[in-house]
Chains A and B, each alone.
Chain A
Amino acid sequence: MHIPYLPHTDDDIRQMLEVVGVSSLAGLFSDIPAAIRYKGPVKLPRGSSEAEIRKELTLLALQNKNTDSYINFLGGGSYDHYIPAVVRELVRRSEFYTSYTPYQAEISQGILQIFFEYQTMICELTRMDVSNASMYDGATALAEAVLLAVNTRGRKKVLICGALDPQNIQVLNTYTRNLDVSIENVPFLDGTVDLSILKEKCGEDTACVLVQQPNFFGCLEDMQEIEKLTHAAGAVFVVSVDPLSLGLLMPPGDYNADIVVGEGQGLGNELNFGGPLLGFFAAKKELVRRMPGRIIGETVDKAGRRAFTLTLQTREQHIRREKATSNICSNEALCAVMATIYLAWLGKEGIREVSSQCASKARFAAGLITKNPDFRLKFSSPFFKEFVIESRISAEKINKALPAGGILNLLDLGRFYPGLKNCLLVCVTEKRTKEEIEQLAEVLGKVPKWN
C-alpha cells in the first residue's frame, strides 16, 4: 500500500543515495549501534486509507454524545458559548494554522498583528495594562502568576479564597510542591470566601491572595474587600476571571488587581473535550518584564512603517535558559487567533449582550428549577452564569436520568467537595433557550419517577 505524504520515487531515492555516497538507506543509520536497532516493523496496525480511517473515526465520534444533539448545562471551567461561523472559516486559512511561531517578523505580520489585537482585547476586557499572547490554560496561568508573586515579594505564603476551581488548585500544588511555598485555603461561607478568616490569615508573610470571579460555584466574591485586605498586607492580588462575564461584571483592573488570569476557551473555541484551552495572563505594567509567555510589541521597520514583533524576548527560555521567568515555548496561538476573531465579531455591544444573557438566562433557570421543592439554591450569594442546586435526589440518579431526557449530565460537586453531596453545578450560557431550560426543569422533575 502506498504510504501517504512521502513524495520520493524510487528514482529520487536512488539519485539522492548516490549524492550522499551510501549504497542503501541502511547506510544512513550506520552510526546507530546494532544492539539498539529495532528489528522488524513496529507493532502498529497496518496503514489506513483516508476513506477507511474517516469511516472508523466517524463511527467513533458518533459514540460520543455531543452538544449538538444533547442540551448542555455543564460548566466548571469548560464553557459552551456560541461560536460564529466566521471564526472557523478564517482560522482554516492555512497561512494561519500551518505557520510557525513568528520569529521572522517580516513574513509574519499577519499573525503578529492578530496577537497584538488579542493582547489589546484582553487588556480592554480586564482593564489591565499589559497582556501576553497566551498560556496553556487558566490553571497553568494561575500557577505562573503565583510563581511571579512569590518571586517578586520574596514571601512564601499563598492564600486561596474559598471556591477556586479545584483543578486550578491541583495544578498549583503540582507546580509548587518542590518550592519553598505554602498554599493555604481560606474556607467559603455560603458560597463565597469567609472574609473574617481571610483577614486573620493575610499578613506580612503572604505573597499573594488568589480569588476567582465568578468563583467555581458561580458566586460573586466581594472583590473590593479582598483587594483591601490583600494590599494592606503588601501582598499581590491575583484574580482569575471568566472573560465572558466582563461585558457585565466589573473588570479586575477597576478593582486594582495586580495580575489577572483565566480560562479563555469560551472565547470562540470549541469544548474540544477539555483541550486545547486558552490561558490568558494580564498584569500591571510594572510587572511586564517578569511576565511569562510570548509578548508582541509595536514598532517600526526601516522605512518607518508600523510593524509588530515578538518583544521582551530576554525573559524567555531560548535566551535566559535556566534563568528564564518561565519555560513556556509553544503556547495556544491559534486559539488566541480564534478568540480575537470572536471578540471582533461580538464587538462592544455584543460582549455586553452575551454577558447579560448568560446572567438573565441563568436566573430564569434557577427560578424555574427551584420551583420544584426537591431542589433548592445552595447559596444565597448573587451569581453570574453558574449556580449550585442542592437536590433531595441523589446526584447519581439525576445524572443517569438526564441523558435519557436529551440533556447531558450535570457536574456533581460531591466529587470535589465532600461536604457538598447531591449538589450540582448548573451552567447557563447565552446558547440556552427558554425551551431547553424548561426541558431541564421538566426532566429534573421526573427523576424520582425513574427506577
Chain B
Amino acid sequence: MELIFEKTREGRKAYTLPENIKGGAVDIPDKFLRRNLTNLPEVSELQLVRHYTALSKRNIGVDSNFYPLGSCTMKYNPKINEDIAALPGFTKIHPFQNEEDIQGALKIMYEFEGLLKELSGMEEVALQPAAGAHGELTGLFIAQAYHRSKGRKPGKVIVPDTSHGTNPSSAHLAGYHVVTVRSKDGNIDLDDLKAHLNEDTAVLMLTNPNTLGLFEKDIETISKLAHAAGALLYMDGANFNAIMGITRPGDFGVDIMHFNLHKTFAAPHGGGGPGSGPVGVKAFLKDFLPVPVVRKNDGQYSLDYNLPLTIGKVKAFYGNFNVILKSYVYLRMLGKEGVRKVSEMAVLNANYMKELLKKHYNLPYPSVCKHEFVLSLNTFKENGIGALDIAKRLLDYGYHPPTIYFPLIVEEAFMIEPTETEDKETLDAFIEVLIKIKEEAEQDPQLIKEAPLNTVVKRLDEVTAARNPVLKYEKKR
C-alpha cells in the first residue's frame, strides 16, 4: 500500500483556514525564516480519508479480535468512556486556566485519586506519570527522596528475575544499580532474597501477582524482610486486575505502587499509548509527591505547588487527564460491587483456560493462577518450532497471539491473559484453535514455520530493518 506521500499531487489541498488579518504584516527578520518548503503531502480530503481508512483495515483492535496478551490486560474499552471524554468541557480546557474556571476537572482528579486509594490501600496518589514505566521512575524518585531525608543513600534496587523490563531500566534511569534475585517454584526465592537484601538496598521492586500469574504467597514475609533492611517495597501494578476488592497492596506491606490505567482501568491502548501510570504511596511519603497536588477545601478544589520536599515534576502539567477521565467513568460504572467481580471473572477465565490447555501444552506452574498463566512452548523443539511460530500461526486464525518470550525465566514462554470481558465461547474457540495448531505443528511443521499465510504481509525481514534502518520516506530522485 502506498504511503500518503506517494499519493501527493502538486497543488492538491485538503485544508481550509480562515482569512488572515490584514494589518499584521510579518516583520520577522530573514535569518529566522525557513528557506525551503516542507514536503508534507498534497492530497484532497477524500484521498486522506480513504488512505487512513484503508490503513485501519490493515490493523486490528480488541473491538474486532480476541487479544489474550499476558501482562497487558487487553480488556474491552467501554464506549461511554470515549463519549464522555469527548465532551468539550473536558477536551477544550487549558491547564493554565484560573482554578475557579476548571473546578469540574479538578474534582474528577481528586475523586479518582480517592477511588484508587480505596482500591489499593495506598494513602496518597499522584496522577502525573504518563505511563507505567513513568510511574515506576516517579516512585523510585520518591523512594530516593525519602532515603535522602533520612540522611541515607542506599544505591541498590532488587528486582526478581521475572520482572518486566521496565523495572530494571527505570531503576537504572533513576541512578540505581540493579540486582536480580531468583525465583523458585514460581515465587521469589526467599533465601536468595535474604542473601541480597542489605542496608544498601533502597527499593525492592516486585509485581503481585507476579508475571507468571502467581500470587506471591510469602508477600508478608517479603515485606518484613525488605523493611527490616531499611528498603522500601515497590509494587508494579500491571497485574492489579487480579486482586481488586480481594486484597490490597497497602494491606500487604507495599509502600509505593503504580497503576496502569490503560490496563486494569480499561483506557484504550491506542496502538501503544497514551497510557497513564498514577503512583500511590503510604502517608509517610506524601511530602515527596510530584507537584501540583489536588486539594479540596470547603468544596473548592485547588492545585497545591507548595511541597518543600517534592521530587518536582516528572511531566508538564498534571498528567494524562483525558485518560484519567476514562478510567474514572469506568470505576464509577463498576462501583463497589463491580470491581471485585471484575477480578473474580478475570481469574476464573484464566484458570478455566489453563485447565483445558494443560492437557495439550506444557504448563510449568500448575497451581491455581490468578488472571494470567504461562505455558512453555519448548515441546516443539524437535520440529524446530518455538513460541514465535505458534504465535504467527494464530494470526492466520484471526487472533492476536499471547505475549511471547516473557517472563524470561520460562523457555519459549507463552503468556495468556484473557481478561474478564471475554465470554466462554470466545475462550472455547481460542482453545480449540490452539489445540488445532498443536496438531499442525506435529503433522506439518513447515506450515507453522511459514505462518502467517493469510495476513496482508508475511514474516518480515527484521534483520535488514535493524542492520540498515530506513526510518522515513525519501522521495527517489
Contact with A along B316-340 (1 / 0, CB 8 A): 1111111110000101111111111
| Complex interface: chain A residues within 8 A of B270 (CB) | 96-97, 99, 333-335, 337
| Complex interface: chain A residues within 8 A of B72 (CB) | 100
| Complex interface: chain A residues within 8 A of B195 (CB) | none
Does B25 count as interface, using CB distance less than 8 angstroms? yes
Stretch at the interface among A70-78, A152-160, A193-201, A204-212: A70-78
- Assess whether A276 is in contact with B63, with CB atoms less than 8 Å apart: no
- Assess whether B94 is in contact with A288, with CB atoms less than 8 Å apart: no
* Residue of B57, B243, B312, B391 with highest tally of chain A CB at under 10 A: B312
- Assess whether A76 is in contact with B423, with CB atoms less than 8 Å apart: no
Among A20, A64, A77, A316, contact of B348 (Cβ-Cβ < 8 Å): A20
Among A54, A224, A345, A349, contact of B80 (Cβ-Cβ < 8 Å): A54
Contact with A along B456-477 (1 / 0, CB 8 A): 1111111011100111110000
- Assess whether A171 is in contact with B315, with CB atoms less than 8 Å apart: yes
- Assess whether B101 is in contact with A409, with CB atoms less than 8 Å apart: yes
- Assess whether A78 is in contact with B317, with CB atoms less than 8 Å apart: yes
- A277 and B245 CA atoms in complex are apart in Å by 32
- Assess whether B3 is in contact with A42, with CB atoms less than 8 Å apart: no
* Residue of A22, A33, A248 with highest tally of chain B CB at under 10 A: A33
- Assess whether B465 is in contact with A327, with CB atoms less than 8 Å apart: no
Among B40, B93, B115, B175, contact of A271 (Cβ-Cβ < 8 Å): B93
Given contacts A32-B246, A311-B465, is CB(A333)–CB(B251) below 8 Å? Answer: no
Does A173 count as interface, using CB distance less than 8 angstroms? yes
Does A361 count as interface, using CB distance less than 8 angstroms? yes
- A324 and B172 CA atoms in complex are apart in Å by 8
Does A326 count as interface, using CB distance less than 8 angstroms? yes
Given contacts A8-B348, A274-B317, A324-B165, is CB(A102)–CB(B272) below 8 Å? Answer: yes
- Assess whether B471 is in contact with A37, with CB atoms less than 8 Å apart: no
Does B130 count as interface, using CB distance less than 8 angstroms? yes
- Assess whether A109 is in contact with B58, with CB atoms less than 8 Å apart: yes
CB contact list, A299-314 vs B, under 8 A? 299-303, 305, 307, 309, 311-314
Q: How far is the CB of A206 from chain B (nearest CB, A)?
A: 21
Does A261 count as interface, using CB distance less than 8 angstroms? no
Does A249 count as interface, using CB distance less than 8 angstroms? yes
Does A131 count as interface, using CB distance less than 8 angstroms? yes
Closest to B223 in A: A36
- Assess whether B76 is in contact with A5, with CB atoms less than 8 Å apart: yes
- Assess whether B80 is in contact with A330, with CB atoms less than 8 Å apart: no
Closest to B47 in A: A344
Q: How far is the CB of B343 from chain A (nearest CB, A)?
A: 9
Closest to B48 in A: A344
- A15 and B355 CA atoms in complex are apart in Å by 13
Number of interface residues of B (CB under 8 A): 196
- Assess whether A65 is in contact with B102, with CB atoms less than 8 Å apart: yes
- Assess whether A111 is in contact with B24, with CB atoms less than 8 Å apart: no
- Assess whether A301 is in contact with B458, with CB atoms less than 8 Å apart: yes
- A399 and B137 CA atoms in complex are apart in Å by 36
Given contacts A100-B69, A330-B272, is CB(A25)–CB(B40) below 8 Å? Answer: no
Q: How far is the CB of B208 from chain A (nearest CB, A)?
A: 10
Stretch at the interface among B84-92, B227-235, B379-387, B432-440: B84-92
- Assess whether B43 is in contact with A67, with CB atoms less than 8 Å apart: no
| Complex interface: chain A residues within 8 A of B198 (CB) | none
Does A114 count as interface, using CB distance less than 8 angstroms? yes
Closest to A57 in B: B84
- A109 and B67 CA atoms in complex are apart in Å by 17
Does A290 count as interface, using CB distance less than 8 angstroms? no
CB contact list, A56-93 vs B, under 8 A? 57-58, 60-68, 72, 74, 76-78, 80, 82, 84, 86, 88-90, 92-93
- Assess whether B130 is in contact with A276, with CB atoms less than 8 Å apart: yes
Given contacts A5-B421, A41-B336, A120-B473, is CB(A329)–CB(B314) below 8 Å? Answer: no
Number of interface residues of A (CB under 8 A): 206
Closest to A225 in B: B31
Q: How far is the CB of A354 from chain B (nearest CB, A)?
A: 7
| Complex interface: chain B residues within 8 A of A263 (CB) | 316
- Assess whether B460 is in contact with A300, with CB atoms less than 8 Å apart: yes
Q: How far is the CB of B108 from chain A (nearest CB, A)?
A: 7
Does A359 count as interface, using CB distance less than 8 angstroms? yes
Given contacts A38-B245, A74-B97, A274-B318, is CB(A50)–CB(B80) below 8 Å? Answer: yes
Closest to A265 in B: B316
Given contacts A25-B348, A106-B460, A248-B34, is CB(A114)–CB(B55) below 8 Å? Answer: yes
| Complex interface: chain B residues within 8 A of A234 (CB) | none
Does A408 count as interface, using CB distance less than 8 angstroms? yes
Closest to A323 in B: B172
Closest to B34 in A: A250
| Complex interface: chain A residues within 8 A of B421 (CB) | 5-7
Q: How far is the CB of A451 from chain B (nearest CB, A)?
A: 18
- Assess whether B131 is in contact with A107, with CB atoms less than 8 Å apart: no
- A245 and B80 CA atoms in complex are apart in Å by 36
- A333 and B61 CA atoms in complex are apart in Å by 14
- Assess whether A82 is in contact with B17, with CB atoms less than 8 Å apart: yes
- Assess whether B313 is in contact with A171, with CB atoms less than 8 Å apart: yes
| Complex interface: chain A residues within 8 A of B89 (CB) | 58, 60-64, 66
* Residue of B26, B74, B105, B466 with highest tally of chain A CB at under 10 A: B26
- Assess whether B95 is in contact with A409, with CB atoms less than 8 Å apart: no
- Assess whether A137 is in contact with B315, with CB atoms less than 8 Å apart: yes
Q: How far is the CB of B304 from chain A (nearest CB, A)?
A: 14
| Complex interface: chain B residues within 8 A of A21 (CB) | 355
Among A7, A90, A116, contact of B49 (Cβ-Cβ < 8 Å): A90
Does B182 count as interface, using CB distance less than 8 angstroms? no
| Complex interface: chain B residues within 8 A of A88 (CB) | 86
- Assess whether B460 is in contact with A80, with CB atoms less than 8 Å apart: no
CB contact list, A311-325 vs B, under 8 A? 311-314, 316-324
Closest to B323 in A: A276
Contact with A along B130-150 (1 / 0, CB 8 A): 111110110001001000000
Does A104 count as interface, using CB distance less than 8 angstroms? yes
Does B298 count as interface, using CB distance less than 8 angstroms? no
- Assess whether B268 is in contact with A97, with CB atoms less than 8 Å apart: yes
- Assess whether B460 is in contact with A309, with CB atoms less than 8 Å apart: yes
Contact with A along B32-51 (1 / 0, CB 8 A): 11111111111101001101
| Complex interface: chain A residues within 8 A of B190 (CB) | none
- A349 and B408 CA atoms in complex are apart in Å by 50
Q: How far is the CB of B261 from chain A (nearest CB, A)?
A: 10
- A165 and B316 CA atoms in complex are apart in Å by 10
Contact with B along A227-261 (1 / 0, CB 8 A): 00000000000000000001111110010000000
- Assess whether B469 is in contact with A360, with CB atoms less than 8 Å apart: no
- Assess whether B460 is in contact with A301, with CB atoms less than 8 Å apart: yes
- Assess whether A277 is in contact with B317, with CB atoms less than 8 Å apart: yes
Stretch at the interface among A121-129, A386-394, A442-450: A121-129
Among B84, B131, B271, B336, contact of A53 (Cβ-Cβ < 8 Å): B84
| Complex interface: chain A residues within 8 A of B21 (CB) | 360-361, 364, 433-434, 437
Q: How far is the CB of B313 from chain A (nearest CB, A)?
A: 4
- A101 and B275 CA atoms in complex are apart in Å by 11
- Assess whether A20 is in contact with B271, with CB atoms less than 8 Å apart: no
- Assess whether B62 is in contact with A98, with CB atoms less than 8 Å apart: yes
- Assess whether B103 is in contact with A105, with CB atoms less than 8 Å apart: no
- Assess whether B367 is in contact with A99, with CB atoms less than 8 Å apart: no
Q: How far is the CB of A20 from chain B (nearest CB, A)?
A: 5
CB contact list, B9-29 vs A, under 8 A? 12-15, 17-18, 20-21, 23-29
Given contacts A20-B351, A41-B340, A131-B471, is CB(A53)–CB(B1) below 8 Å? Answer: no
Contact with A along B252-271 (1 / 0, CB 8 A): 10000000001000101111
| Complex interface: chain A residues within 8 A of B333 (CB) | 4-5, 47-50, 53
| 12 pairs of residues in contact across A and B, judged by CB atoms under 8 Å | A15-B424, A31-B367, A42-B245, A53-B80, A54-B80, A61-B84, A105-B460, A123-B472, A171-B314, A250-B31, A317-B165, A321-B169
5 shortest interchain CB distances as A-B pairs:
A47-B335, A61-B89, A274-B317, A110-B59, A98-B61
Other 11 A-B pairs with CB < 8 A, given A116-B472, A311-B469: A4-B333, A5-B266, A95-B57, A107-B59, A123-B472, A177-B312, A254-B36, A273-B317, A301-B458, A327-B166, A351-B38
